[in-house]
Amino acid sequence: MSEAKSPDTLVTQPDRGHSPDTQTGDSGPIYDTIIIGAGMSGIAAGIRLAYYDQRVCILEKHYTIGGLNSFYRLNKRDYDVGLHAVTNFTEKGAKKGPFSRILRQLRFKWEDFALAPQRRSRIAFPEIELHFTNDIEQLTAEIGQKFPHCVDRWQRLVGSITDYDDLDQAAFEISARQRLEEALGDPLLINMLLCPLMWYGNPREHDMAWGQFCIMFRSIFLEGFARPYRGVRLILKNLIKKFRALGGELKLRHGVAKILTENGWAIGVELENGNRIYGKRILSSAGLVETLRMCDQTSEPDPRMAGQMSFIESISVLDRQPEELGFADTIVFFNDSPDFHWTPPADELCDVRTGVICSPNNYDYDLQEGQLPEGIIRLTTIASFDRWNKLDEATYRREKFRWYDRSVASCVRFIPDFRPHVIDIDMFTPTTIRRFTWHENGAVYGAPDKKLDGTTHIPNLFLCGTDQGFVGIIGAMMSGISMANQHCLKD
Amino acid sequence: MAPEEIRQAIIEILEDIAPDEDLSNLDDSVSFREQMELDSMDFLDIVMELRKRYRVQVPEEDYPQLASMDSTVKYLEPKMVNVAV
């Protein structure tokens, strides 16, 4: 790469020789940063860069924003795509933790996200349950009661995770199962702890990276769950409003076909419609494999690198509040045997032995906002992208209803049977996720191997989002912010 | 800018970066880190705000100079001598 020149000298003289700011036609202005994808990470990065006076353009393939955390409207009802809970909740005034960091970095007030805390959640295994709230002492008390022989070890574990600061890649990669075996020793307790943490953010099969475990542990057990009354819309609306107010440009229905390079440097992108947009650097939230595919790679990247963990989501609208049916928990993580299997289903479309049940009604909303108008129960279970992807249209429709029934039948073993009260349903599958996010395999938590430093083989092309760093709404925003800070601001 | 004006400029930046901090009792000789919850991202913001507001460039190798108020003002004095208030 010794002959590679800085991109600035290349892009100031694009093909037709116009000066950068007066270009017209398909090339337009030269952006300081082009961001691929208007999800949480891309918009958060965009805010950082636009705030510091960069010329930024976010290119989004879909007709709306949000990526893996989007929203939609169906039968006159508003739905969230991914959101069960925002993790990392801390009360107003907290100075530590990712949530307050995001507020500071993006210059938001705590009130802007209007987060209402969870009531209580539950990890449900056969004949044993652990309840937890946003106060870790509740979980410690439960463990003291149900696993008295482990409680001292548990407290030491909590202490070590509280102290843990950002791990280097080597410590990050240690097996969580092995670390927990040493730290706790009780296989049932280990599985009960892994269940919610894997459910809310483990891209790997079977095991979890220790670093990912610690991040998830803090975000869920030490910080906590919350949700804005208006769901993910509110967060996205506030993010994009800020981005635009700072002069950022958002182009929807602008899918990137190709990343253009010259002498080994990225100089811009070619859109699916053939137009070109030029920039000094590119920050892509499209995913690692997906981004590499946009470059002129000689070999096709292996799609398995993109991760295999995908899900179906079965959403039920009820004729009453879940609480009236005796269901007052915010989130229930269930698993129907002492073993916890975290792999794509081996020979069926879905695996409904384990799942997550969430009722957006069961948050402590502000009295002024009141309660959501309708009862909603969301249920996530494991699914195989490959199997869903092979179905023809008619079979696909039939299987969707079949697996709605089977997943709900599995979950009502752990919560009151709400089925007589269902007035509407919706459902999405791994192929739905891919259709709207273009993430390979519909892999919700991205690649098993994260590219934590965000770099690629091209020196001015960087990654952010689910394949770079952390998952969930807070993780995604942190990813966008930290990659913008590290790679796009300091020049 | 005179040293006292530079100090005020830094206070204003800190107020924006960390709106929840009480800066009235800030000890200028003690590091920011010891008195406030500032992480490396916040320090980057001090640098970026200086650039945005006053067009002052602080190269990365000089970041340690911004440890306390005293050291920051001392470091910025020659750089900001011609900056208008």
Cα end-to-end span (Å), chain A: 20
Whether A83 shows a pLDDT value over 50: the answer reads: yes
Query: Residue A442 has what pLDDT?
Result: 82
- pLDDT surpasses 70 at A436: yes
DSSP string across A149-164: GGHHHHHHHHHHHHH-
**Residue among A190, A200, A187, A265 nearest A475 (CA):** A200
Residue pLDDT, tens place only, A375-415: 999 999 999 999 999 999 999 999 999 999 999 999 999 99
Beta pairing, strands A276-284 & A30-36: parallel
- The pLDDT of A213-237, averaged and rounded, is 95
pLDDT for residue A325? 97
Question: ipTM of the assembly?
Answer: 0.87
Cβ-based interface (< 8 Å): residues of A facing B: 52-53, 93, 95-96, 101, 104-105, 107, 109, 481-482, 485, 489-490
How confident is the model over A442-469, as a mean pLDDT? Answer: 89
B17 at interface of A, judged by CB pairs closer than 8 A:
yes
Predicted pLDDT of residue A173? 85
Q: What is the distance between the alpha carbons of residues A153 and A182, in angstroms, rounded to a whole number?
A: 10
pLDDT at A490: 77
Q: Is A434 in contact with A442 (CB distance < 8 Å)?
A: yes
Note the pLDDT of residue A258: 96
Kindly give, in sequence order, each residue whose CB lies less than 8 Å from that of residue A75, ignoring residues fewer than 6 positions away. A424
- Please give the Cα distance from B52 to A457 (Å, whole number): 31
Sign, Cα dihedral of A95, A96, A97, A98: positive
What's residue A164's pLDDT? Answer: 58
For CA atoms A68, A441, A200, A449, give the dihedral sign.
negative
Cα–Cα distance, A364 to A116 (Å, whole number): 6
CB burial string A243-274: b at 16+ within 10 A, e below: beebebbbeeebebeebbbeeebbbbbbbeee
CA distance B38 to B49: 15
Q: Bridge-partner residues for A277, per DSSP?
A: A269
A477 has pLDDT over 80: yes
Chain B residue closest to A490 (CA)?
B60
Chain A neighbors of B52, CB-CB under 8 A: 52-53
Between A192-201, A425-434, B69-78, the lowest mean confidence (pLDDT) is in: A425-434
What pLDDT sits at residue A166? 59
From the centroid of its chain, how far is CA A324? 31
For residue range A170-185, list pLDDT tens digits in order.
788 899 999 999 999 9
Shortest distance, CA A51 to any CA of chain B (angstroms): 9
B51 contacts chain A (CB < 8 A): yes
Residue among A107, A109, A485 minimizing CB distance to B44: A485
The segment with the largest mean pLDDT, out of A62-76, A320-334, A432-446, B25-39, is A320-334
Check the CA dihedral B75-B81-B82-B85 and report its sign.
Answer: positive
Using a CB–CB cutoff of 8 Å, tell me whether B16 touches chain A.
yes
Give the nearest partner residue to B20 out of A95, A101, A490, using CB atoms.
Answer: A95
What is the spatial distance between Cα A380 and Cα A410, in angstroms, rounded to a whole number? 11
- Cβ pair A121, A330 in contact under 8 A: yes
pLDDT given for residue A81 in this prediction: 87
- Give the number of other CB atoms < 10 A from CB of residue A118: 23
* Cβ proximity of A464 and A195 under 8 Å: no
Q: Which 3 state secondary structure label does DSSP give B50?
A: helix
Spatial neighbors of A405 by CB under 8 A, at least 6 apart, are none
DSSP state, residue A292:
H
The Cα–Cα gap between A342 and A86 comes to 22
Contact A96 B20 (CB under 8 A): no
Note the pLDDT of residue A297: 65
Q: Which residue matches tokens 């299997």?
A: A341
Q: Which of A95, A487, A488 to mutate to test the interface with B (most CBs of B within 10 A)?
A: A95
What span, in angstroms and rounded, lies between the C-alpha atoms of A447 and A372? 35
Is B41 close to A482, i.e. CB distance below 8 A?
Answer: yes
Distance from CA of A39 to the nearest CA of B (A): 22
Going A64 to A69 to A72 to A78, the CA torsion angle's sign is negative
pLDDT value for A167: 59
Position A95 scores a pLDDT of 81
What is the nearest CA distance from A138 to chain B, expressed in angstroms? 27
Residue B53, chain A, CB below 8 Å: the answer is no
| Residue A85's pLDDT band (cuts 50, 70, 90) | very high
Radius of gyration, CA atoms only, chain A: 23
Residues of B in contact with A96 (CB under 8 A): 37
Banded model confidence at residue A21, pLDDT cuts 50, 70, 90: very low
A8/chain B closest Cα distance in angstroms: 19
Phi, psi (degrees; rounded to nearest 5) at A244 = -70, -40
Q: Among A248-262, A294-308, B8-22, whose mean pLDDT is lowest? A: A294-308
DSSP state of B4: H
Contact A104 B42 (CB under 8 A): yes
Distances from the Cα of A320 to the Cα of A316, A329, A361, A375, A425, angstroms: 11, 15, 10, 5, 14
Q: Report pLDDT for A464.
A: 96
Closest approach of A52 to chain B, Cα-based (Å): 6
Give the distance from residue B59's alpha carbon to the nearest chain A alpha carbon, in angstroms.
9
Phi, psi dihedrals of residue B28, rounded to the nearest 5°: -65, -20
Rounded CA separation B78/B2 (Å): 10
Domains and CATH numbers, chain A: 1-111+230-305+449-491 (3.50.50.60), 121-223 (no CATH)
Report CA dihedral (B58, B63, B68, B71) to the nearest 10 degrees: -60
d(CA A216, CA A218): 5
The reply to whether B22 touches chain A by the CB within 8 Å rule is no
A166, burial (CB in 10 Å: exposed 0-12, middle 13-18, buried 19+): exposed
A53/B52 Cβ within 8 A: yes
- Inspect the interface and report whether the beta carbons of A101 and B41 lie closer than 8 Å: yes
Phi, psi of A78 (to 5 degrees): -90, 130
Helices (H), chain B: 3-17, 32-35, 40-54, 69-80
Average pLDDT over residues A315-333: 97
Partners of B37 on chain A (C-beta within 8 Å) are 95-96
Give the H or E element holding residue A190.
helix A187-199
Nearest to A93 among B20, B42, B51 (CB): B20
- Over range A457-471, report the average pLDDT: 91
Contact B52/A at CB under 8 A: yes
* Best to test chain A binding among B15, B20, B49 (most A CBs inside 10 Å): B20
pLDDT in tens, A123-168: 999 999 999 999 999 999 999 999 999 999 999 999 988 865 655 6
Band (A437; pLDDT cuts 50, 70, 90):
confident
Number of neighbouring beta carbons within 10 Å of residue B73? 21
Question: Is B52 in Cβ contact with A104 (below 8 Å)?
Answer: no
Per CB-CB distance under 8 Å, the chain A contacts of B44 are 485, 489-490
* Nearest residue of chain A to residue B38 (CA atoms): A95
Cα A186 from chain centroid (whole Å):
30
Q: What is the pLDDT of residue A8?
A: 40
pLDDT tier at A20 (50, 70, 90 boundaries)? very low
Q: Give residue A221's identity as a one-letter amino acid code.
A: F
Confidence of residue A23 (pLDDT cuts 50, 70, 90): very low
Burial of B79 from C-beta contacts in 10 A (0-12 / 13-18 / 19+): middle
Query: In the numeric block, which tokens belong to residue A490?
Result: 């300091």
Q: Which two tokens stand for residue A210?
A: 């220790």
Contacts of A104 in chain B (CB under 8 A): 17-19, 41-42, 45
- As a whole number, the mean pLDDT across chain A is 90
Nearest to A104 among B18, B48, B52 (CB): B18
Question: What is the number of helices (H) and of strands (E) in chain A?
Answer: 15, 18
Interface mutation target, options B23, B37, B50, B57, chain A, most CBs of A under 10 Å:
B37
DSSP result, A5-30? PPHHHHHTS-TT---GGG--TTT-PE
Query: Are A257 and A275 spatial neighbours (Cβ–Cβ below 8 Å)?
Result: no
Q: How far is B24 from chain A (nearest CA, A)?
A: 18
Question: Do A316 and A454 meet the contact criterion of CB atoms below 8 Å apart?
Answer: no
pLDDT one-digit tens code per residue, B34-65: 888 888 888 899 999 999 999 999 998 999 99
